[in-house]
Chain A
Amino acid sequence: MTIKGKAYIAGIYEHPTRHAPDKSTAQLHAEVAKGAIEDAGLTKDDIDSYFLAGDAPGGAWPMVDYLGLNTKKLRHIDSTETGGCSYLIHLGHAAEAIAAGKCSVALITLAGKPRTGAMPPRAAGAEVDFESAYGATTHNAYGMCAMRHMHDYGTTSEQLAWIKVAASHHAQYNPHAMLKDVVTVEDVLNSPMISDPLHRMDCCVVSDGGGALIVTTPEIAKSLKKPLVRLIGHGEAMKGPRGGKDLDLTYSAGVWSGPRAFEEAGITPKDIKYASIYDSFTITVLMQLEDLGFCKKGEGGKFVADGNLISGVGKLPFNTDGGGLCSNHPVNRGGMTKIIEAVRQLRGEAHPKVQVPNCDLAIAHGTGGLLGVRHAASTCIMERV
């Protein structure tokens, strides 16, 4: 059984806010849900399935009740929590549930306010006594990956900087982007060192906000007015130190989620016209491009250099909304906005300055957790019909 072509992304909505001290987190979830439902041309009572992750206050019971979802109709719930890639996994799971006839209109929401106030610490696992004292944070966990990647493959800070440069070229056209100024490789290298070898401009922004999706059956999607975008391949995977044997921080779980998605879609990385790649840090993008097969392992540095990720300039336009590096990073989780910009590209709704001509195949990929410690990854391949 496959999910290929069995579920369509009929509604998308990205919250325009980047700072929301005047709103509640639940309210932001409701606002993005409303936006996605209206984008699809449906109503709240059409929702029969809800997907949410750890950012939704109180989890499934409180959120379903707060949103006022129709509980006589709601028949499928999924609260899979895998950090920033939760929403990519939700999209895959929604397609599975739709393909199995378990639901017909799925709502997926993400929202939160880490810019307004610190997020609660993540729950500890069995490793707590053996790791928590050492202060692993996003910055240094990804710094450790970058340090080893440089050691093993000769990757340079200049090459990493090109990823931020490309994102900034795209962000200048996004009126909602937090950082709209185009930057140079020198700007990145001259920004303060945060956690070696990552500079401030190698890091994504911290923003409030959110986003939502409506996923539905082919029949319902075709009855609506939006351009048709369907999921044709999905993969998910996890990776961690697993007892400390053969530790290798130069690759992510994308080496497993990517091939699973490409195999299901029946295409290869060469066929992809646009790529949304989670950009918590520049190194995140470089490693994931390698892991997904856009270039060989260790050649990511050469691949991203010289504007190869800039729309209209390079071979692989990426994150044309400016991504997490420049536009936003709601709830410190990048998976949702990655899907939304990929759908915009497939619909032809991206900004004209960054719209990829005849964009019919796009990928959205992300990770969740800490790449340098333990993490999940998920890959979604989408097609314009």
Chain B
Amino acid sequence: MAEAKKYPAPVTNPETAPFWEAAKSGKFMIKRCTACGEAHYFPRSICPFCFSDKTVWEESSGEGTIYTYSLMRKSPTGPYAIGYVTLKEGPSVQTNFVDCDLEKLKIGQKVKVVFKPTDGAPLPFFTPV
């Protein structure tokens, strides 16, 4: 079962530490550039679009839709579904889908963020709404 799966703790670094701090209180953060207005993920200090350093943290709704997925049928830790979720705020994020029937996933399906514990900060995953 997914509950038994052990996930690695994020190493974190000075650039991304605020993301993991927020994750501890269940908040899923993205970065937005105040110069060009674009949101991005994973978070960078300098905007990957306009290269401005005027980027700020923003709490994401944690809601989005499945852009694509693939169900890995076998692995040392059992089957898992990897995919991308396109957030309401725009950016697409790589993730695993959890707490659901993996056989019934569909492109376009609505999903929301859910955090799973590690030995360090919790990790974001997505589950069908």
Contact = CB atoms under 8 A, between A and B. Distances in A.
Nearest to A147: B68
B107 A147 contact: yes
B57 interface: no
B82 A136 contact: yes
A129 B95 CA distance: 11
A118 interface: no
Interface in B7-66: 7-8, 10-12, 16, 20, 38, 40-42, 44, 47-49
A249 B10 CA distance: 26
A193 B73 contact: yes
A45 interface: no
A203 B64 CA distance: 31
Contacts of B48: 242-243
Nearest to A240: B48
Interface string A122-139: 000011111111111101
B68 A140 contact: no
Contact of B16 (A129, A244, A245, A372): A129
B82 A244 contact: no
Interface string A182-193: 000000000011
A181 interface: no
B2 interface: no
A243 B16 contact: no
Q: Which of A135, A193, A194, A242 has the most CB of B within 10 A?
A: A135
Interface in B57-106: 67-75, 80, 82-84, 86-87, 90-96
Contact of A129 (B12, B71, B74, B80): B12
Contact of A244 (B70, B93, B107): B93
Contact of A130 (B68, B90, B94): B94
A182 to B, nearest CB: 26
B72 A140 contact: yes
A353 interface: no
A1 interface: no
A147 B42 contact: no
A133 B107 contact: no
Given A133-B8, A135-B80, A245 B90 contact: yes
Contact of A132 (B8, B40, B73, B107): B8
A196 interface: yes
A195 B71 contact: yes
Given A129-B12, A144-B82, A242-B48, A134 B95 contact: yes
A193 B71 CA distance: 9
Given A135-B72, A244-B91, A249-B68, A144 B84 contact: yes
Nearest to A149: B68
Interface residues of B, number: 40
Contacts, number: 114
B113 interface: no
A193 B102 CA distance: 14
Given A140-B70, A196-B70, A244 B95 contact: no
A206 to B, nearest CB: 15
B111 interface: no
A247 B11 contact: no
A127 B42 contact: yes
A134 B82 contact: yes
Interface string A307-351: 000000000000000000000000000000000000000000000
Contacts of B90: 244-245
A4 to B, nearest CB: 34
Given A144-B83, A243-B48, A249-B68, A373 B73 contact: no
Contacts of A151: 68, 107
Given A129-B20, A195-B72, A372-B70, 8 more contacts: A133-B8, A135-B75, A139-B72, A143-B72, A144-B69, A194-B72, A244-B40, A249-B68
Interface of B: 7-8, 10-12, 16, 20, 38, 40-42, 44, 47-49, 67-75, 80, 82-84, 86-87, 90-96, 107, 118, 123
- Going nearest first, the 3 A-B pairs with the smallest beta carbon separation are A143-B70, A244-B91, A243-B40
25 contacts: A129-B11, A130-B16, A130-B41, A130-B42, A130-B93, A133-B118, A134-B95, A135-B72, A135-B80, A141-B70, A144-B69, A146-B70, A147-B68, A147-B70, A192-B73, A196-B71, A198-B70, A243-B40, A243-B48, A243-B91, A244-B42, A244-B90, A244-B93, A247-B84, A249-B67
